[in-house]
A = this chain, B = another copy of it.
Amino acid sequence: MDAEIIAVGSELLTPQRTDTNSLYLTEKLNSLGILVRFKTIVGDSKEDLQVVIRAALERTPLIVLTGGLGPTEDDLTREVTAEVLGLPLHEVAELRRRIEDRYARLGRPMPENNLRQAQVPEGSEWLENRNGTAPGIWIEHQDHLVVLLPGPPRELEPLFEATCVPRLERVASGARIKTRVYKVVGLPESEVDQLIAPLYRPYQNPVTTILAAMGTIEVHLRARAATDQEAEARLAELGDKIELVLGDHVYSSKGETLEEVVGMYLVMRQKTLAVAESCTGGLLAERLTRVSGSSSYFLGGAVCYTNQMKTRWAGVPADLIQAHGAVSKPVAQALAEGVRARAGASIGVGITGIAGPKGGSSDKPVGLVFVALADDRATQVREFRFPGARERVRYWATQMALEMVRRRIRD
C-alpha cells in the first residue's frame, strides 16, 4: 500500500516554513512497509484543498492529511475532506462533552466555533488526541484510507503512534522495514564515507545513507525483508562491520543523543557534573538537563557572562582574567576547576570563547573556543576554531565539551 502525505496550511507555502511532519510520518509508514510516493503542500484555501484531495484519490490508496483541524475559520481539512468524499459531517456527543468540559475546567466561555472539532464525517472513526483539542479522523471509504491528523508535532506524533500505527499494522502488506542509525562525532563526513564505502557498496539491502547534522555525522541503514527478524539480521550483518571500523567515534547506535549517552555513562560510573559557561550561554546546561533524570548527576551550571560572575560563581581569580583575557586557556581551566570545587562535583567543565558575530579580533577571532575538563586526576584544555555563525559556534562548543566528558568517563 502506497501513501501520499498532504500538509495543509498557508504558512507552509511561505519562504519561512515548510512541512516537516512528513519526515516523522515517512519514518513510521516505512517501518510498516508503506512507501510514500507523493507529498503535497497546500494552503488554507477550500478550492485548492479540494483539487489536491481529488488528485490524491486518483493516485494513492492511503492519504494522510496533516493540519487544518483547528477551531478557526481557516481550518478547512475536516469539512473539505468530507465534502470531496461525499460524506456528511455529524457531531460526536463524546467529543462535544470533552470540549465543553475543558472550557468548564479552565473557567472560560467556550467560543462557538470550537464545536466544529466535535464533528466527524459519517462512517469514520475519531482518534484521541491527548495533547490538544483536535481529534484525528480515520476514514475508510471505498478503496481508500484517508487519515486526518492535527498539525502540531507534539499532538500528531503521540496520536499517530497510539492510534494509527496499530490500525495500519492490520492493513499493511506485511513487508517489514527496519533501520539503524550510527551517530559519529569527531570525524568529517568525507572521512566517514571513505572508511565505510568499501563495506556498504556491495549491499543493495540495507540501503546506506550518510547525513551531516550539526556536530554529528549520521550513518543510516535501512533494511527490507519479509519479517522483522530477517530485516534485523540484514542490519546486523552490515552494521556490525561499520561499527567496528568507526570504533569509538560512534557514540550511539540506538538513536540516543550525545547528552543522553553522557548521562548514561555518568550514572553508570556514579559521577556528578557541574559546568561553567561563557560564550555558550547556558546551552551546555540546557542540553544536559533535556535528559529526564539528569538531576541525579548534573549539579548545576554557572553562565558567567561577565568577568565578575566568573569570579563570583566559579572562583576564577580576577588577576588571571586580567593577565590572559576572559577568552584564554588559563581561564577555561580555572572555570572547570572552580565550578567543580564550588559544586563539589566529580567533573567540572569550563567553556570560554567568542561566539560572534562581533567581539572577534585578529588575535582572538570569532569561533575561537577553549573547553576545559577537570576531574580528580587532571585538567585537560582543548582549543577549537569553529567556522560559521553564532548558533553553530555555540552548538559545536557544547558538542565538543560533551564529547570530552564522554571520552573521559568511558576510559
Binding site for B on A (CB under 8 A): 9-20, 22-24, 26-27, 30, 35-45, 48, 51-52, 55, 58-59, 70-74, 111, 113-114, 131, 152, 154, 179, 189-191, 193-194, 197, 201, 207-212, 218, 220, 222, 274, 280-286, 288-290, 292-295, 298-306, 308-309, 312-313, 342-344, 356-359, 387-392
Contact = CB atoms under 8 A, between A and B. Distances in A.
A154 B197 CA distance: 25
B220 A10 contact: yes
Determine how many copies of this chain the complex contains. 2
Contacts of A154: 388-389, 392
Contacts of A300: 302-306, 309, 313
Contact of A303 (B55, B113, B222, B301): B301
B41 A193 contact: no
B299 A285 contact: no
Nearest to A306: B299
A72 B220 CA distance: 14
Given A13-B37, A23-B18, A312-B342, A73 B304 contact: no
Contacts of A11: 209, 211, 218, 220
Contacts of A312: 342-343
A386 B262 CA distance: 28
23 contacts: A9-B209, A9-B211, A10-B220, A11-B218, A14-B179, A14-B220, A15-B24, A18-B22, A18-B23, A18-B39, A37-B45, A38-B42, A38-B52, A48-B59, A72-B190, A73-B201, A111-B191, A131-B387, A282-B285, A282-B286, A290-B391, A294-B305, A300-B304
